[in-house]
Amino acid sequence: MEDLLGDQSLPGLVPHDLEEQLHLACDDGEPRSFAEAERHAAWRAAMKAELDAVKENRTWNLLTSLMEGWRVHHMDVKLAFLNDDLKEEVYVHQQSGFAIPGKEGKVLRLRNALYGLWQAPRAWNAKLDSTLKTMGFEPSPHEAAIYQRGNGENTLLVGVYVDDLVITATKDTEVAAFKEDMKATFQMCDVGPLSFYLGIEVHQDDSGITLRQRAYAKHVVDLAGLNDCNPALTPMEERLKLSRDSTAEEVDATHYRRLVGSLRYLTHTWPDLAFSVGYVSRFMQRPTTEHQQAVKRIIRYFTGTLDHGLYYPRCPGKAQFIGYTDSDHAGDIDTSKSTSGILFFLGKCLVSWQSVKQQVVALSNCEAEYIAASTALT
């Protein structure tokens, strides 16, 4: 302290701002809430620096709330891969039994892609990407499958999954015009309001949107052979500790991986499964009966919550974007690494969540919490 302050280390001679920082460093240096932290200039400056860095990195754009009652529509491209322009020279034999009479010895040079060609998905993606950009869309810098055109009260968003398009906009007229443009370019099937997408059931009404995975969850229950099981109240036993070096009897690794992979997909609408599913995912290499019992506990839990899902109510007006983070400390007994938990709400709507093992070993609970908060910001 004497080296740091020199003669000013005497009582009563500590500069005010440094005295404040020293005060914060005492009593573990951690404010208990945002309200407590914002009263101190040092913490306010630290928070402002973090937010400035996030803004400079263009982490987000301000848009009109998606809770304004936007309808979500679904379109499918017919024979999508046949619309692709090939850049490579590809030759195929004529189909047996369908060769052109008198030209049986000739081969076909492809101008467009065919299903089954390894070039086809890449060529289709390039075709769709160029088409959307020609229509005035810009791809998201953070999610390559999302395209946006316009802003504010004239925003149109398109999500792409191979040949399926999910469309929403501030105005129904924007959606209708886009559909007509796509029909003029490709052979399209207008499915109408989104009701089922990649195993996720979507219900839309005037109050909001509900997402569920009941049919998929029942398939997982069948796969595990637990149709008549008693539901569990929680997805995981309290303070459960499992190790990769378990001495219990080994189980079929392929079946175990299939179950865990199915559970990971369920976390898209069951955020409360995120931690437990992430935990059992650590034992894919050599699963044992102990690990399998933990997986069955997760399945028994959601058999009692099959009708649960994510609800996004219609809430016109200003909505706050609020994030929560938490972590354990050294929860992984094999590596001593901690696990970060992250939730983000837009108003009352849960829009993002994550449970992930930290990449470094935290030396204290405070450090583990800091890593979780930093992960949430990035």
Q: How far is CA 62 from CA 52, 55, 57, 318, in A?
A: 15, 11, 14, 12
Q: In whole angstroms, what is the distance from residue 84 CA to residue 70 CA?
A: 32
Beta strands in 183-333 (DSSP E): 188-193, 196-197, 200-205, 208-212, 310-313, 321-327
Q: In whole angstroms, what is the distance from residue 376 CA to residue 351 CA?
A: 13
Of 309, 197, 314, 291, nearest in space to 236 by CA: 291
Q: How far is CA 179 from the centre of its chain?
A: 27
Which segment of 59-68, 153-162, 234-243 scores lowest on mean pLDDT? Answer: 59-68
Q: In whole angstroms, what is the distance from residue 269 CA to residue 228 CA?
A: 23
Tell me what pLDDT residue 178 has: 95
Tell me what pLDDT residue 20 has: 45
Tell me what pLDDT residue 25 has: 41
Q: Does residue 95 register a pLDDT over 60?
A: yes
What's the predicted TM-score (pTM) here? 0.71
Considering just the CA atoms, what is the radius of gyration of the chain in Å? 27
Residues pairing with 45 in the sheet = none
Q: In whole angstroms, what is the distance from residue 70 CA to residue 294 CA?
A: 40
**pLDDT tens digits for range 317-339:** 778 899 999 999 999 999 999 99
Helix (H) or strand (E) holding 370: helix 365-377
Residue 289 is classified by DSSP as H
Q: Does residue 202 register a pLDDT over 60?
A: yes
Q: How confident is the model at residue 237 (pLDDT cuts 50, 70, 90)?
A: very high
Average confidence (pLDDT) over 276-281: 96
Q: How far is CA 211 from CA 60, 65, 196, in A?
A: 24, 18, 9
Tell me what pLDDT residue 13 has: 36
Amino acid (one-letter) located at 112: N
Mapping DSSP to helix (H, G, I), strand (E, B) and coil, where does residue 254 land?
A: helix
Read off the tokens for 247. Answer: 């001495």
Read off the tokens for 365. Answer: 């609970």
Of 227, 177, 207, 183, nearest in space to 75 by CA: 183
Which residues are CB-contacts of 252 (< 8 A; sequence separation ≥ 6)? Answer: none
Of 364, 358, 365, nearest in space to 337 by CA: 358
Select the more confidently predicted residue: 129 or 92: 129
SS3 content of the chain, % helix, strand, coil (to 5): 40, 20, 40
Residue 168 is classified by DSSP as E
**pLDDT tens digits for range 247-262:** 999 999 999 999 999 9
Tell me what pLDDT residue 142 has: 86
Contact criterion met (CB below 8 Å) for 220 and 259: yes
Q: Does residue 233 register a pLDDT over 60?
A: yes
Residue 229 is classified by DSSP as P
Select the more confidently predicted residue: 225 or 123: 225
Q: How far is CA 273 from CA 211, 269, 278, 341, in A?
A: 15, 9, 8, 12
Tell me what pLDDT residue 3 has: 38
**pLDDT tens digits for range 141-188:** 988 899 999 988 889 999 999 889 999 999 999 999 999 999 999 989
**pLDDT tens digits for range 12-53:** 333 444 344 434 444 445 666 667 777 888 878 877 776 666
Contact criterion met (CB below 8 Å) for 161 and 198: yes
Tell me what pLDDT residue 26 has: 41
Q: Work out whether the CA dihedral 13, 18, 19, 25 comes out positive or negative.
A: negative
Q: How far is CA 274 from CA 210, 235, 265, 269, 339, in A?
A: 19, 10, 10, 10, 11
Share of the chain above pLDDT 70, in %: 81
